[in-house]
């Protein structure tokens, strides 16, 4: 299905935005902490044409059984949006509500979405939609917002229009990513630095193991973790867990119940691992970060309790067959694991993981490589 097949004419422009892999720094973003994602060479494309009225009409290649969803700019409100189309319509609403854009004299668009970012794999297919659409609307409506502002718009839309309480990492990676580099993001200040990943020069690749165990962030597990973090910060007398260091964990253990303490310990130690990873990449290169990736996975498995058996098996098997490092990535409760592997070992490690899943009676995983790529753009 194409834009032309849905709407009967050709689009005027195309914008695209990538999904992302988070190298390290999980569930730190909404705690004002640090993250280290990179944009990937899997993208969502928004084909767009302006209309003469104020209607937004939205269709997608993954919902061909239903007609386009239509909503007037005058009717934009979260309770008028549901399903996947909220990722598009919510951006227009958030541009007005969060960024203060005046849409009173704007005309609408016909929009068609297609993507090769796997849905439900923890690679942020949702932010890829949001960021491509946000960049497009910003350009076509001549709103003049910069990319950091558009990242805030995307997060606001996902939080309030879609209803998923996510942080700002995904949108920042999708908008700010660069070739063969990671984006070091301070989620409190939104200060960013591009850090050379240098995988190609070191003969390395990132292997993604999509377990095909789907997750849904708008449901309870993610929210429960966020609530625990907020309780922990309040009990420790800080604005956010970002304000605690590893040295504070002894006091935290005395003050908090066991579960809340373990949630706090994950976030505090994960923030430190991000800082350590940035320093290690700059000083020693990507081959030296393997132990940090594995420690991150163990913390998510044991302290934050967001892994699943399929993710654990992917990580363990990759490490047993020679990966430099491996960890689950994304919000958890399913999704994907990543493994940092030598290029020549990629096939053997992928085969070993697939065989291990079969032996365990799990659904066959989707295993593929990704490369750090450019962020959202007009194509």
CA atoms within 13 A on the CB side of 49: 14
Instruction: Tell me, yes or no, if 116 is annotated catalytic.
Output: no
218, pLDDT greater than 50: no
User: In the 8-state DSSP scheme, what is residue 288?
Assistant: G
219, pLDDT greater than 80: no
Q: What is the mean pLDDT of residues 43-52?
A: 98
312, pLDDT greater than 90: yes
216, pLDDT greater than 90: no
pLDDT band per the 50, 70, 90 thresholds, residue 87? very high
pLDDT band per the 50, 70, 90 thresholds, residue 165? confident
Q: Where do the structural domains in the chain lie, given as residue ranges? A: 3-194, 197-370
Q: What are phi and psi of 17, to 5 degrees?
A: -145, 145
Residue range 3-194 in CATH 3.20.20.70: no
18, pLDDT greater than 90: yes
Regarding pTM above 0.75, the answer is: yes
Pairing of strands 181-186, 34-50: antiparallel
pLDDT band per the 50, 70, 90 thresholds, residue 111? very high
Give 23-42 pLDDT, tens digit per residue: 999 999 999 999 999 999 99
Looking at the DSSP assignment, which residues form a beta bridge with residue 55? 72
Compute CA distances 1 → 15, 17, 228, whole Å.
18, 20, 44
222: left (phi over 0), alpha (psi -120 to 50) or beta: alpha
Query: What is the crossing angle of helices 220-236 and 258-284, to 10°?
Result: 90
Please give the CATH topology (third level) of the domain spanning 197-370: Alpha-Beta Plaits (3.30.70)
pLDDT band per the 50, 70, 90 thresholds, residue 330? confident
Q: What is the mean pLDDT of residues 256-285?
A: 98
Q: What is the mean pLDDT of residues 161-166?
A: 88
Q: Which of 110, 170, 210, 303 is catalytic?
A: 170
164, pLDDT greater than 90: no
C-alpha closest to that of 13 among 379, 270, 367, 375: 379
Strand ordering across the sheet containing 366-370: 325-329, 336-342, 204-210, 366-370
Range 100-124 burial, b when 16+ CB lie within 10 A, else e: ebebeebebbbbbbbbebbebbbbb
**Mean pLDDT rounded to a whole number for the chain:** 95
Q: What is the mean pLDDT of residues 200-211?
A: 96
């Amino acid at each position: 299905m194409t834009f032309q097949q849905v709407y009967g004419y050709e689009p005027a422009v195309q914008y695209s935005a990538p999904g992302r892999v988070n190298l390290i720094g999980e569930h730190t973003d909404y705690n004002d902490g640090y993250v280290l994602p990179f944009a990937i060479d899997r993208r969502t494309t928004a084909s767009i044409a302006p209309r003469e009225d104020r209607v937004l009409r939205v269709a997608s290649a993954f919902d061909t059984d239903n007609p386009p969803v239509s909503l007037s700019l005058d009717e934009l409100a979260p309770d008028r949006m549901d399903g996947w189309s909220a990722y598009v319509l919510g951006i227009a609403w958030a541009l007005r509500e969060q960024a203060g854009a005046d849409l009173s004299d704007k005309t609408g668009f016909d929009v068609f979405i297609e993507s090769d970012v796997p849905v439900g794999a923890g690679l942020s297919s949702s932010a890829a939609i949001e960021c491509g659409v946000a960049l497009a609307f910003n350009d076509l409506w001549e709103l003049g917002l910069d990319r950091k502002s558009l990242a805030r718009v995307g997060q606001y839309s996902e939080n309030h229009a879609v209803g998923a309480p996510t942080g700002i990492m995904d949108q920042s990676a999708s908008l700010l990513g660069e070739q063969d580099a990671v984006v070091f993001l301070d989620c409190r200040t939104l200060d960013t630095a591009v850090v050379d990943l240098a995988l190609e020069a070191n003969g390395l690749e990132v292997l993604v193991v999509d377990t095909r165990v789907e997750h849904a962030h708008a449901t309870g597990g993610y929210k429960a973790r966020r609530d625990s973090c907020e309780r922990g910060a309040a009990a420790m007398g800080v604005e956010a867990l970002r304000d605690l260091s590893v040295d504070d964990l002894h006091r935290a253990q005395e003050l908090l119940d066991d579960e809340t303490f373990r949630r706090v310990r994950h976030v505090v130690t994960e923030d430190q691992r991000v800082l350590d990873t940035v320093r290690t990449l700059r000083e020693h290169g990507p081959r030296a970060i393997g132990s940090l990736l594995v420690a991150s996975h163990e913390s998510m498995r044991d302290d934050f309790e967001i892994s699943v058996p399929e993710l654990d098996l992917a990580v363990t098997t990759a490490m047993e067959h020679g990966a430099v490092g491996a960890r689950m990535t994304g919000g958890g409760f399913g999704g994907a694991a990543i493994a940092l592997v030598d290029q020549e070992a990629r096939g053997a490690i992928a085969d070993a993981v697939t065989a291990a899943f079969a032996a365990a009676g799990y659904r066959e995983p989707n295993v593929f490589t990704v490369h750090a790529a450019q962020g959202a753009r007009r194509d």
